[in-house]
């Protein structure tokens, strides 16, 4: 049995965050587990409020879970608080979680900050060194490295800086780049780009869906490069059938 855990924000509209991760885990045949690091108030129009799960409660749940059920891989998404990030980093060391996928979620599409001030330093210093793979999109790669990415050379430079922070692999998602819609994986023997057709419309939870799929594939024993390649194909298929579910035009993935 493949067991995977998502530690991320709760999206009650269930198009992103732990709810989407769980749906994707299920769709890929894994036994999924999900624990919230933060709650959000949101619907298809966007995020209007965020609140971290209290650190004592968070830590207690994390330890209770890992002490009992061992996931082969873990992903993190929206973490919000530095204290909760520290707890994950510590648990990753204690429980020797080597297959850790970190999606460094910084902001919602509607512009709400999903990481508290000061927590980015904790993320970079304590969690990135424990990650097998981090999956920033371009704006996140820029903010994490304090650089501006306009060219492929800029992206290579930022990826180098991110690898220096300690993860084994970095996948920079270029979906937010005008022109190219390729995602580029750094850290292997060579740099690999994965490109798929750009789909029309606004989608809710694309980043979560990709990192959740990668996590299941890595848990199942795929090497990182293969996992990313296959996960991109899953996401591409899901993009085709995504539909609006609320009053906004944002499309949600359908299972």
Q: Which two tokens stand for residue 4?
A: 């995977």
State yes or no: residue 37 binds ligand PXL (CB under 6 A).
no
Segment contacting ligand PXL (CB under 6 A): 9-17, 150-158, 165-173, 215-223?
A: 9-17
State yes or no: residue 136 binds ligand PXL (CB under 6 A).
no
- Name the residue nearer to ligand PXL (CB basis): 39 or 191: 39
CA atoms within 13 A on the CB side of 222: 16
Q: Give, to the nearest 10 degrees, the angle between helix 206-219 and helix 17-27.
A: 40
- Name the residue nearer to ligand PXL (CB basis): 11 or 183: 11
- List the 46-52 sheet strands across, edge first: 46-52, 31-43, 3-10, 73-76, 100-102, 133-134, 169-173, 182-186, 192-195
State yes or no: residue 116 binds ligand PXL (CB under 6 A).
no
- Name the residue nearer to ligand PXL (CB basis): 40 or 84: 40
Smallest distance, ligand PXL to C-beta of residue 36, A: 8
State yes or no: residue 40 binds ligand PXL (CB under 6 A).
yes
Q: Which two tokens stand for residue 8?
A: 């991320």
Yes or no: say if 254 and 24 are a contact pair by the CB < 8 Å rule. Answer: no
- Name the residue nearer to ligand PXL (CB basis): 153 or 255: 255
Identify which of 252, 140, 254, 172 has the alpha carbon closest to the alpha carbon of residue 205: 252
- Name the residue nearer to ligand PXL (CB basis): 130 or 173: 173
Smallest distance, ligand PXL to C-beta of residue 151, A: 26
Yes or no: say if 251 and 244 are a contact pair by the CB < 8 Å rule. Answer: yes
Identify which of 206, 177, 171 has the alpha carbon closest to the alpha carbon of residue 191: 171
Smallest distance, ligand PXL to C-beta of residue 187, A: 23
Q: Which of 4, 17, 71, 217 lies at the binding interface for ligand PXL (CB under 6 A)?
A: 17
Q: Which of 207, 209, 213, 217 lies at the binding interface for ligand PXL (CB under 6 A)?
A: 207
Report the alpha-carbon angle 177-178-184, nearest 5.
Answer: 35
State yes or no: residue 8 binds ligand PXL (CB under 6 A).
yes
Q: Which of 4, 33, 78, 216 lies at the binding interface for ligand PXL (CB under 6 A)?
A: 78
Segment contacting ligand PXL (CB under 6 A): 11-19, 59-67, 117-125, 245-253?
A: 11-19
Identify which of 169, 159, 77, 188 has the alpha carbon closest to the alpha carbon of residue 123: 77
State yes or no: residue 105 binds ligand PXL (CB under 6 A).
yes
CA atoms within 13 A on the CB side of 16: 30
Q: Which residues bind ligand PXL (CB under 6 A)?
A: 8-9, 11, 16-17, 40, 42, 47, 77-78, 105, 108, 205, 207-208
């Amino acid at each position: 049995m493949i067991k995977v855990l998502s530690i991320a924000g709760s999206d009650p509209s269930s198009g992103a965050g732990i709810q989407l991760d769980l749906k994707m885990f299920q769709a890929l045949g894994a036994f999924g587990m999900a624990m919230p690091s933060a709650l959000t108030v949101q619907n298809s129009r966007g995020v209007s409020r965020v609140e971290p799960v209290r650190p004592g409660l968070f830590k207690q749940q994390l330890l209770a879970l890992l002490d009992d059920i061992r996931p082969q891989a873990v992903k993190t998404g929206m973490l919000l608080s530095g204290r909760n990030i520290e707890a994950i980093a510590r648990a990753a060391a204690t429980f020797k979680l080597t297959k850790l996928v970190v999606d460094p979620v910084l902001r919602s599409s509607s512009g709400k900050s999903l990481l508290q001030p000061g927590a980015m330093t904790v993320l970079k210093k304590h969690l990135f060194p424990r990650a097998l793979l981090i999956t920033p999109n371009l704006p996140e790669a820029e903010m994490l490295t304090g650089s501006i990415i306009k060219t492929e050379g800029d992206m290579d430079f930022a990826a180098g800086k991110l690898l220096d922070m300690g993860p084994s692999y970095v996948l920079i998602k270029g979906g937010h780049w005008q022109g190219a819609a390729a995602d580029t994986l750094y850290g292997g023997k060579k740099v690999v780009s994965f490109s798929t057709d750009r789909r029309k419309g606004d989608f809710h939870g694309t980043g979560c869906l990709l990192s959740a799929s990668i996590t299941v594939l890595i848990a199942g024993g795929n090497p990182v490069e293969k996992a990313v390649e296959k996960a991109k194909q899953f996401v591409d298929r899901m993009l085709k059938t995504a539909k609006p579910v609320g009053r906004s035009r944002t499309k949600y993935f359908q299972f």
